[in-house]
Amino acid sequence: MTNHTVETDFFLMEFSDSKQLQVLQGFLFLLVYLVSLMENLLIIILVTLDQCLHTPMYFFLKNLSFLDVCFISVTVPKLILNSLSHRSTISFSGCVCQVLFVVSFAASEISILTIMSYDRYVAICHPLHYDALMNQTVCLQMVAASWIFGNLFGVLYSYGTFSLSFCDSRKVPQFFCDVPSLLKISCSMMHVAIDISVIIGVLYGFLCSVSIGLSYVYIFSTVLKMPLLQGKSKAFSTCMPHLIVVSTYLVTGITAYLKPVPDSPQLWDFLVSAFYSVMPPSMNPIIYSLRNKEIKAALWKILWKLEHYDFYQKAFIVYRKAT
Confidence band of 137 (pLDDT split at 50, 70, 90): very high
In the chain the first and final C-alpha atoms are separated, in Å, by 86
| The amino acid at 120 | R
**For residue 124, what are the domain limits?**
10-291
Q: Tell whether 141 and 280 lie within a shared domain.
A: yes
Q: Kindly report the CATH number assigned to the domain that includes residue 230.
A: 1.20.1070.10
pLDDT digits (tens, 9 = 90+) for 74-121: 999 998 998 888 888 888 888 999 999 999 999 999 999 999 999 999
Report the 10 Å Cβ neighbour count for 284: 27
Q: Is residue 1 part of a domain?
A: no
Q: Tell whether 165 and 299 lie within a shared domain.
A: no
pLDDT confidence of residue 268: 76
Q: Is residue 3 part of a domain?
A: no
Q: Tell whether 287 and 301 lie within a shared domain.
A: no
Q: Is residue 5 part of a domain?
A: no
Q: Tell whether 286 and 299 lie within a shared domain.
A: no
pLDDT digits (tens, 9 = 90+) for 195-214: 888 888 889 989 999 999 99
Q: Tell whether 322 and 228 lie within a shared domain.
A: no
Q: Is residue 119 part of a domain?
A: yes
Q: Tell whether 268 and 310 lie within a shared domain.
A: no
Q: Tell whether 163 and 208 lie within a shared domain.
A: yes
Note every long-range contact of 158-163, with CB atoms under 8 Å and residues 24 or more positions apart, other chains counting: 158/96, 158/99, 158/100, 158/103, 159/193, 159/197, 160/191, 160/193, 160/194, 160/195, 160/196, 160/197, 161/99, 161/194, 162/5, 162/96, 162/99, 163/193, 163/194
Q: Tell whether 284 and 300 lie within a shared domain.
A: no
Q: Is residue 4 part of a domain?
A: no
Q: Tell whether 214 and 280 lie within a shared domain.
A: yes
Number of domains the chain is built from:
2
